Amino acid sequence: MGVNERSGDDVRVFHEDLSEYDYLDEDAFTDRESGFYALWYRPAYTRLNIGWLEAGKPYSTGTVPAAFVEKLKAVQEIQWMNVCLGVHECDLCPEEEAPEGNGEVRIPGGPGIAYAAPFLITHYVTAHGYRPPQAFMDAVLAVDLDAWASTRWPDVPFPWVPDDAERMLD
């Protein structure tokens, strides 16, 4: 079985950094702390891909600040986007050691921009030396976790759902 064929995974996962995200039209936010699942909304901002790595495809490597890794982990403790029923294994790791991910992370960028990363991004950084673009690292470091934790829409915690997003509740 080939590296990309594990667990029946034949979905294309590689996307170049800073290319436009086009996997889903809507985003679904899940609050990890409360377990609220999920608020669907149609983003009015442009989503840019970050960290969608795949074996055999080149990616940038290098050191990253420890503060960036810690903040990214903290964001992932409270935010979970587009949770899927299936999982994706890291195909850069040996199969028996490969961690799995089944969601995404959104990080606000400049005006009208959000970065869309797979939940395995922290693993890619720490285990495979992936170095995301500086703009993404700066955006992660700029996240105000206290503000995210205190935000509610309505009466449910949401770390970051932009005001102009079209909400689609069931």
Helix, strand and coil in the chain, % to nearest 5: 25, 25, 50
Higher per-residue confidence, 166 vs 59: 59
pLDDT score of 1: 30
How far from each other are the two terminal CA atoms of the chain, in whole angstroms?
A: 41
pLDDT tens, residue by residue, 114-132:
999 999 999 999 999 999 9
Residues in CB range of 78: below 8 A, 6 or more apart: 31, 32, 33, 145, 148, 149, 157, 159
Q: In the chain, how long is the greatest CA-to-CA distance?
A: 48
